[in-house]
Amino acid sequence: MKWDLDSLFSGGSDSEALQRYVKKTEDDVAHLEQLVQSFTAPKHIDQTKDFFEIVDHMQLVMKELSEFGAFVGCLSAQDVKDHKAGQWQSKRTEMGARFGNTATAFEQKLVQVDDATWQALLKQPEVQELSFVLNEKRDRAKDLLELRQETLMNDLAVDGYHGWGQMYDALVGRMTIEVDGEELSVGQASNKLGSEDRTERKEVFEKLQNAWGSHSDLFSETLNHLSGFRLQMYKHRGWDSVLKEPLEYNRMSEKTLSAMWETINDYKHKYKKYLDKKAEMLGLLKLSFYDVEAPVGASHQKMDYQEGADFIVEQFQRFSPKMASFAEMAFQNQWIEAEDRPGKRPGGFCTSFPDHEETRIFMTYSGTPSNVATLAHELGHAYHQHVMNDMPMLNQGYAMNVAETASTLAEMIVADAAVKHAESDEEKLTLLEDKVQRSVAFFMNIHARFLFETRFYEERKSGVVSAERLNELMVEAQREAYADSLDEYDSTFWASKLHFHITDVPFYNFPYTFGYLFSMGIYARAMESGEAFEDQYISLLRDTGRMSVEDLAKKHLDVDIEEKQFWQDALELCAADLDEFMDLADKL
Ligand SMILES: [Zn+2]
């Protein structure tokens, strides 16, 4: 149950091999800086030697920085007290920033290449396969202000923008909530919202509401200032839509986004019925916000680690033998850290070592069905990386909305099998509810975040939005997204949800829903096509880093995701679980 990190760099945070690797990476970063500095935009197709050299070298540095970052990430996760690992982490951040600046400077120089030379250049065999990504970089650079102004904005953003995000973290870190005479952090208190006891849920919910409410003047400051900065930045760049940045980052069109939300709206009535049924099962007239995720039954089924591993491999085998043998290899070679012990970071992740062409998975396994699902989920991420190993680094960069494709699919395969293997109806009901809950989170909770954020940014354009108004906007968005099913909403959710206060990517919401439904659509297709799907699936994954999501779906699934049909097929699959849940609930 413990992972092997020594085969990557032997000796943990004192590793000499790591020291040598970092030294080499530093030299390579410095060399890249020199190359970019002396680079001038080619005026003719014969002057492209420097360009090829930079692209090559850039990919080498990307590989090394990923490798280094992944290793120190693993070190700090396995032991939160490893201070040496923390120092390595700072080193990695500093080197990452140097690389980022160099890459920006290079991209700005690409704008100076005239279009004819640029098109001819992309046809050269050295870079032809990178043409989508290189084009994208040049186009994005075109949308920015000139280098001096962008540099000034980036420098001011450290304190004037990201600083507000850090202020938010600092404020939240200081908050405590007293529950049963104990001083809890907001994270600890929020965990108690999952209690089986409604009185306890209600009490904690109200205490949390009071806590967020009493600080809401401070959180409205942080939110208004960071969004104000963002809007000013957009205004100066001449960007009028707040969706421009997140949509481009996720390589998707606004039409696709609308088709997705519209189709979800068409299915809201079904989820409303589910929430009404759940209220009935809990003996309530209507659910409150804090009842939505409450457990309806208890699952007692446990699987030890070996059983969990065998179950996953067996289920993968039915879907894709290649994915199954990959999982088997990952278990055998100790790529997974799953031991349940103190001192580990909470949560789970999968991280890639592109230089070694390996991955590592981190989680804490205690035998619950949700642990098995998480393990399958992370193996899905690992498999996605595995099929991309031989590709150029620039083509391996996929965005958040497709990053969850392979993982969600792997998780679904195993969750479906768990439902089929349930030993009793009660067990089955609990496992089905797990699946329905995922849909509720993506179609209702995340939808509310999207509606809120869109409306908030619109109002923010004409001035500061007060805490009272933020509460109103939040409740309106939740009421709409939850199809008016609840009798009490979470008005301070805008303050408590970190995602609204993250400064690196805006709209940290719709990509989750996209990823979930996209993988559902693929799953529906996989079940139709049987064995033939395996290779088709691999080629789809390999293209996730080098085309728009519309092209990806067109090429591999032959569908137009700007139309509702694809989303309907995916939602039908989710609705089937919901129908089964409703029938079983009636029966019980
Ligand atoms: Zn994931």
**Could you write out the DSSP letters of every residue in 70-109?**
HHHHHHHHH-TT-HHHHHHHHHHHHHHHHHHHHHHHHHHH
> Of 332, 455, 408, nearest to 574 (Cα)?
408
Q: What pLDDT score was predicted for residue 323?
A: 97
Three-state DSSP class for residue 346: coil
Q: What is the DSSP letter of 509?
A: S
β-pairing, 336-337 vs 182-185, is unpaired
Q: What pLDDT score was predicted for residue 336?
A: 97
pTM metric for this prediction:
0.92
Question: At a CB cut-off of 8 Å and minimum separation 6, what does 441 contact?
Answer: none
**How close is the Cα of 196 to the center of ligand 1, in Å?**
27
CA–CA separation, 166 and 174 (whole Å): 13
**How close is the Cα of 374 to the center of ligand 1, in Å?**
9
**How close is the Cα of 410 to the center of ligand 1, in Å?**
10
Residue type, 327: A
Residue type, 220: S
**How close is the Cα of 379 to the center of ligand 1, in Å?**
10
> Of 313, 336, 333, 331, nearest to 323 (Cα)?
313
Largest CA distance in the chain: 77
**How close is the Cα of 400 to the center of ligand 1, in Å?**
9
**How close is the Cα of 377 to the center of ligand 1, in Å?**
6
**How close is the Cα of 399 to the center of ligand 1, in Å?**
12
Q: What pLDDT score was predicted for residue 451?
A: 98
Residue type, 68: F
**How close is the Cα of 242 to the center of ligand 1, in Å?**
26
**How close is the Cα of 381 to the center of ligand 1, in Å?**
7
**How close is the Cα of 405 to the center of ligand 1, in Å?**
8
Contacts 24+ apart (CB under 8 A), 437-442: 437/293, 438/516, 439/271, 439/516, 439/574, 439/577, 439/578, 440/271, 440/274, 440/275, 440/292, 442/512, 442/513, 442/516, 442/517
Q: What pLDDT score was predicted for residue 300?
A: 67
Three-state DSSP class for residue 272: helix
**How close is the Cα of 376 to the center of ligand 1, in Å?**
10
**How close is the Cα of 351 to the center of ligand 1, in Å?**
11
**How close is the Cα of 407 to the center of ligand 1, in Å?**
6
**How close is the Cα of 189 to the center of ligand 1, in Å?**
25
CA–CA separation, 93 and 78 (whole Å): 19
Contacts 24+ apart (CB under 8 A), 203-211: 203/179, 204/177, 204/179, 204/290, 205/288, 205/289, 205/290, 205/490, 207/177, 207/178, 207/179, 208/177, 208/492, 208/496, 209/490, 209/491, 209/492, 211/175, 211/177, 211/186
**How close is the Cα of 578 to the center of ligand 1, in Å?**
23
**How close is the Cα of 183 to the center of ligand 1, in Å?**
32
Cα-flanking dihedrals φ and ψ of residue 230, to 5°?
Answer: -60, -45
Segments of the chain with pLDDT less than 50: none
**How close is the Cα of 386 to the center of ligand 1, in Å?**
15
Report the b/e string of 464-495 with b at 16+ CB within 10 A: ebebeebbebbbbbbebbbbebbebbbbbbbb
Residue with tokens 């012990």: 341
**How close is the Cα of 406 to the center of ligand 1, in Å?**
9
Beta bridge partners of 351: 360
**How close is the Cα of 79 to the center of ligand 1, in Å?**
22
CA–CA separation, 454 and 197 (whole Å): 35
**How close is the Cα of 542 to the center of ligand 1, in Å?**
17
CA–CA separation, 86 and 99 (whole Å): 20
Cα dihedral 544, 546, 548, 551 sign = negative
CA–CA separation, 216 and 500 (whole Å): 14
**How close is the Cα of 393 to the center of ligand 1, in Å?**
20
**How close is the Cα of 63 to the center of ligand 1, in Å?**
21
**How close is the Cα of 350 to the center of ligand 1, in Å?**
8
Q: Is 309 exposed, middle or buried (0-12, 13-18, 19+ CB in 10 A)?
A: buried
Residues composing the chain: 588
**How close is the Cα of 140 to the center of ligand 1, in Å?**
27
Q: What is the DSSP letter of 269?
A: H
**How close is the Cα of 107 to the center of ligand 1, in Å?**
30
**How close is the Cα of 491 to the center of ligand 1, in Å?**
28
Cβ–Cβ under 8 Å, residues 411 and 380? yes
Q: Could you give the angle at the alpha carbon of 192 between the alpha carbons of 186 and 196, nearest 5°? A: 165
Chain CA centroid to CA 325, Å: 26
CA–CA separation, 538 and 532 (whole Å): 11
**How close is the Cα of 509 to the center of ligand 1, in Å?**
14
**How close is the Cα of 538 to the center of ligand 1, in Å?**
18
**How close is the Cα of 20 to the center of ligand 1, in Å?**
32
**How close is the Cα of 404 to the center of ligand 1, in Å?**
5
Cβ–Cβ under 8 Å, residues 509 and 450? yes
Cβ–Cβ under 8 Å, residues 53 and 35? yes
**How close is the Cα of 462 to the center of ligand 1, in Å?**
37
**How close is the Cα of 378 to the center of ligand 1, in Å?**
6
CA–CA separation, 384 and 212 (whole Å): 39
**C-alpha dist (Å) from residue 466 to 59, 147, 262:** 46, 35, 30
